[in-house]
Amino acid sequence: MSLKILIRTSIAALAGFLISTVSILPAWAVDFSGKKITMIVPFKEGGGTDGLARLFAPYLQKELPGNPEVIVLNQPGGGGVTGTNKFQRTAKKDGTVIGMGSTSTFVAYAIGGDKIKYNPMSWEPIMLMLRGAIVYVNAEKMGVKGGMSDPAGDVAKAQSKAVVIGMKTPTSAELSDYISWRIMGANVKPVFGLSTSKQRKAFFRQEIMANVDGTGPYLKKVVGKSKFKTVPMFAFGYNGPDGKRLRDPDAPDVPTMEEFYRAAFGKAPKGPAYDAYLNISGLRVMSKLVALPPGTPKEIVKTYISAMKRIAKDPKAAKAIKKTVGSLPVYYGKAAKPVMAAGFKIKPSARKWMSKELGEKFKVKM
């Protein structure tokens, strides 16, 4: 073999090797050097979603290849709809735009309406975090015992008077709270226009008699903080691998709504209203989502998932994440899609019930 042929053969072999190597390059082949990444938060500064985004930002700057600058862009309005619409229509599919989803935006999508121009199921999920929620009451004002002490008696008391709760809007995350009381046969009277923190303050001022909070905030900011007796009624819980409703591991003594209902009525809850509750409470538990826009290349998605998994293993970050969302399961990438679909897939009978309930009570069109 001549030297020229040997050189040509070697070059061809090297080229083939390089091509095959490029095709199997790991996630770190994606490079964000010199780029700026924007995390769109569809709420104002200071809320739970904003806090989580600001927690992740410096870690992503460290963990993403090229160490890009990561900034948080707050786009409040419409209960999260305005900023989420903006994220949906972004033309940037290169990983330089990330979206933060939350219960409020999920519930708004499930309810539907002309203003909703986004579809979470079309996004590329990076990390989905579940968070428990607990319904609690002013025991003195409602005359109840809470939990499993006397469910039947507590329901009778709730049915005998108007149960005043706080909500941002008729289709915000607190809809799960509203529906749970309606299942109990209570006459629920919402006070609209209250953010999560304002709902809690209104509860402490005894302007509302019942409220719902994430498990973490409930344990830290509610238990032992009121001048009157506050008791938990029930928790939303979460679905285990077999589909069975499980208690919140951060509040194991608080019964699920299903356990409370069975103890109060002597049977399991069922029917369109309960099916609606399963959807909306499921979306409430599906608390926070970090996602990339539809059409983002798989290599970029894998890069982000790897980065988020490393962040979640960092002791300091893990502690902060748990403090925000609790101990419920976390899902990465495609594993998040079935969990999301279960919340969004509303039965026709359940949608009909919600349409009638929200239409007659609050003039909301589904």
Distance between CA 359 and CA 366 in Å, rounded? 8
Percent of the chain scoring above 70 in pLDDT:
92
Distance between CA 52 and CA 32 in Å, rounded? 22
CA distances from 197 to 141, 221, 256 (A): 21, 10, 24
pTM: 0.80
Q: What number is the average pLDDT over the span 141-151?
A: 96
Confidence of residue 324 (pLDDT cuts 50, 70, 90): confident
Domain with CATH 3.40.190.150 in the chain: 27-130+286-344
Q: Does domain 133-284 have CATH number 3.40.50.1220?
A: no
Annotation: CATH topology of 27-130+286-344: D-Maltodextrin-Binding Protein; domain 2 (3.40.190)
CA distances from 276 to 17, 29, 74, 273 (A): 56, 45, 31, 5
Read off the pLDDT of residues 78-124 as tens digits, 9 standing for 90 and up: 889 999 999 999 989 999 999 999 988 998 898 888 899 999 999 99
Domain with CATH 3.40.190.10 in the chain: 133-284
